[in-house]
A and B are shown apart, each in its own frame.
Chain A
């Protein structure tokens, strides 16, 4: 069961353009993480958002957590070729007391052309 819907699945843009990736769910998460994955490597954490309505900025990347903690977005301003990669959102679900796991979306494959 895929709890996190990520869109779009593929995105091909020119350098300098802006883009937004969405991550939606009907479930509430204790936090939401965004990872970036390069070919042949494991995902690497970009950011964790914890509070509903929270906005975090990482240089040209802006992450937002929905007020109800069910959805999130990643906005990239003036994309560069170095932003090319697979972007994954992951919602944190608690299952037993302090334990829990991350549920991943299917990912957005971003290609930024020069």
Chain B
């Protein structure tokens, strides 16, 4: 009964380093997405995917890359970390492409960039 699994839960990076946040879901969901949550800013969409091989940009995509080679996995890559990317990152998935279905969230990955 895993649902959406994110790793790592915590990470500290230095400015300029790169890293990948992993996200996996075992519910055969078509749609997967990454949000970042900052104090006073709510959840903002970074990138999303409506199926394997298909990705698209959200509201705040700059500095992030994604790929979707399988239905289950949707990693988020930070190419050259900046202090402005310090945030809590959430991966979320839902069954279908349409926006009205329930989003299932992972527990979050807290990233600090020094």
User: Which residues of A pack against B, CB within 8 Å?
Assistant: 1-2, 6, 9, 30-31, 33, 35, 40-45, 48, 50, 88, 90, 92-94, 98-107
Question: Across the interface, do B45 and A101 meet the contact criterion of CB distance under 8 Å?
Answer: yes
Q: Is B13 an interface residue (CB 8 A)?
A: no
Which chain B positions have C-beta within 8 A of A42? Answer: 4, 90, 92, 105-108
Interface of A is mostly: strand
Q: Is B42 an interface residue (CB 8 A)?
A: yes
Which chain A positions have C-beta within 8 A of B40? Answer: 9, 106
Nearest-neighbour CB distance to chain A for B88, whole angstroms, equals 9
Question: Across the interface, do B98 and A100 meet the contact criterion of CB distance under 8 Å?
Answer: yes
Question: Across the interface, do B42 and A102 meet the contact criterion of CB distance under 8 Å?
Answer: no
CB neighbors of A among B4-35 (8 A): 4, 33, 35
Question: Across the interface, do B98 and A106 meet the contact criterion of CB distance under 8 Å?
Answer: no
Question: Across the interface, do A94 and B98 meet the contact criterion of CB distance under 8 Å?
Answer: yes
Task: Give the distance in Å from the alpha carbon of A83 to the alpha carbon of B43 in the complex.
Answer: 21
**B interface size (C-beta, 8 A):** 26
Contact pattern, B 96-114, Cβ under 8 Å of A = 1, otherwise 0: 1111101101111000000
Which chain B positions have C-beta within 8 A of A99? Answer: 50, 97-99
List 13 interface pairs A-B (beta carbons < 8 Å), by A numbering: A1-B59, A2-B42, A42-B92, A43-B105, A92-B99, A94-B98, A94-B99, A98-B97, A98-B98, A99-B97, A99-B98, A102-B45, A106-B41
Residue of A with least CB distance to B96: A98
Nearest-neighbour CB distance to chain A for B4, whole angstroms, equals 8
Question: Across the interface, do B42 and A88 meet the contact criterion of CB distance under 8 Å?
Answer: yes
Which chain A positions have C-beta within 8 A of B4? Answer: 42
Given the known interface contacts A30-B99, A48-B102, A101-B99, the answer about A41 and B107 at a Cβ–Cβ threshold of 8 Å is: yes
